Amino acid sequence: MAIHPIEYRYGTGEMRAVWGEEHRFSCIVQAEVALARASAEHGFIPDQAAGAIAAGAHHATLSRAKEIEEEISHDMMAIVRAIAEQCGEGGGFVHYGATSNDILDTATGLQVRDALVLIDEKLRTLLAALLKRSEETKMLVCAGRTHGQIGVPTTYGLRFAIWASEVARHIERLAQMTPRVAVGQMTGAVGTQAALGEKGMEIQETMMEILGLTPVDVSNQVIARDRYAEYFMFLAHVATTLDKIGIELRTLQRTEIGEVEEAFGSRQVGSSTMPHKRNPIKSEQVCGLARVVRSAVEPALQNNTLWDERDLTNSSCERVLFPEASILTDHILALMIRVIEGLTLKPARIAQNLSMLQGVNMAEAVMIELTRKGMNRQEAHEIMRTASMDALARGIPLSHILSEDKGIQRYVSPAEIRALLDPGRYIGTAPAQVDRVIAKLTPRCSRVK
């Protein structure tokens, strides 16, 4: 019986598989085999034993390990015995010199690495979608808004480029942090490697080389959880960017604004009682689940404050945190890709909103030109502030107010005023900025092999 929504509602099959029981078991088996191979290479166990473990370990099954765990109530030792059963005489050397978390934390490192590969792929796909939209809307002028109020014009291309730039920084962060968070250890009961003898450091190095993980420089019985806290903060960071985009798209889809709309299927139902509704449910889901992802940060930080060489308070917590935060982040990334790719823009409504204030939102352009023509900047600001308030109060175009002011016309002609009040002529370097972002970030849409 499914209970948690990630079992039946949220998440991609590939990310669920990374954090599923079978893959977890497989990662543990890989870690045990790598330990045996590294131990044999450095003369700590016989070559024949390592060969037997390498040949037999992958025949061990999760179901058999669970049977043994029912008897002995220790999950790691149950897996060790299930593996040993398949390795003949080599079974006596399974887990030799290791403590549970050497294997369990190393397995987590493998899972984190696999999860980050999937997240990296989706971040790059989202980046490509945002850059495509940015190129398409490079010259689509719209109302900029600050404090929820219409300001000077901007472009949709610039909006998409800003989001793309943020996503690109996440790709950089992922690459930078992977060696710090996809790590493994083989340090023994309290971190001294006493059970591994004088070759302990070499065994650890070789084992992690086999697995493709970064070895810890130093550890106690567990890998320091600041590494995992960084992973969860990264997931929260990504989720917050998606939340930010989702909030903006939801705002722009409000009936009163109506500039964009999520893709809506021909047979899709928006409301069980209001047949006309076309709700931004995908963006809302992104925003809602981002809250859950962010909630993983606090317990992840607390997991780093363990007693002495370790306690067990992190273990139960991490069994929930890793799959939940990873699966939900991957899910909302996939969802936001669909939103961006399917987003409909409404040029007529965009133009309507841009002209809603009848030129008042272009007051800065006139102020800048008045100053350029010789008026004191502070005087120009006050003149345009007064004129704008007058236009808003009377509900008439700003051009009418300015045409009545002979003082202004000493600096700018009526024709110049009309040109200054044209939003399309006041977008500055926005198109050039978009071009620069596209040129810089397009190569990052594909992962370098």
Tell me where in the chain the CATH 1.10.40.30 domain(s) lie: 358-425
Q: How confident is the model at residue 58 (pLDDT cuts 50, 70, 90)?
A: very high
What are the φ/ψ torsions at residue 266 (nearest 5 degrees)? -65, -25
For the question of residue 271 being annotated catalytic, the response is yes
pLDDT of residue 266: 65
- Can you say how many angstroms the Cα of residue 434 is from the centroid of all Cα atoms in its chain? 22
CATH 1.20.200.10 in the chain is located at 5-45+96-262+277-351
Pick from 3-17, 65-79, 177-191, 274-288: least confident = 274-288
Domain 358-425 has CATH 1.10.40.30: yes
Q: What is the pLDDT of residue 409?
A: 86
**pLDDT at residue 99 greater than cutoff 60:** yes
Cα separations (Å) of 437 from 64, 149, 159, 170, 178? Answer: 54, 27, 12, 15, 25
Mean pLDDT calculated for residue range 403-425: 92
Q: What is the Cα–Cα distance from 96 to 426, expressed in whole angstroms?
A: 71
To the query of whether residue 403 is one of the catalytic residues in this protein, the response is no
Evaluate whether 203 touches 209 at the Cβ level (below 8 Å): no
Query: What is the total residue count of the chain?
Result: 449
Name the residue type at position 120.
Answer: D
Mean pLDDT computed over 184-200: 94
pLDDT score at 45? 96
pLDDT of residue 120: 98
Higher pLDDT, 15 or 273: 15
Q: What is the mean pLDDT of residues 98-114?
A: 97
Q: What's the pLDDT score for residue 273?
A: 67
Domain 5-45+96-262+277-351: CATH superfamily, name plus number: Fumarase/aspartase (Central domain) (1.20.200.10)
pLDDT at position 86 over 90: yes
pLDDT the model gives residue 437: 98
Q: Which tens digit of pLDDT belongs to each residue from 223-261?
A: 999 999 999 999 999 999 999 999 999 999 999 999 999
**pLDDT above 80 (res 270):** no
pLDDT digit string (tens) for 329-345? 999 999 999 999 999 99
Q: Summarize the confidence of residues 400-424 as an average pLDDT.
A: 91
- pTM for this model (two decimals): 0.95
Helices 62-72 and 21-41 meet at what angle, rounded to 10?
A: 90
Quote the mean pLDDT of the chain.
95
In the set 271, 355, 413, 446, the catalytic residue is 271
- Which is catalytic among the residues 147, 266, 276, 316? 147
pLDDT at 276: 75
| First-last CA distance in the chain | 41
Cα–Cα distance for residue pair 428/420, rounded to 1 Å: 13
In the chain, the percentage of residues whose pLDDT exceeds 90 is 90
pLDDT in tens, 147-180: 999 999 999 999 999 999 999 999 999 999 999 9
Beta bridge partners of 154: 142
Surface-to-core class of residue 374, CB atoms within 10 Å of its CB (0-12 exposed, 13-18 middle, 19+ buried)? exposed
In the prediction, which pLDDT does 250 show? 96
Lowest-pLDDT range, 259-268, 350-359, 413-422?
Answer: 259-268
Q: For position 300, what pLDDT does the model report?
A: 96
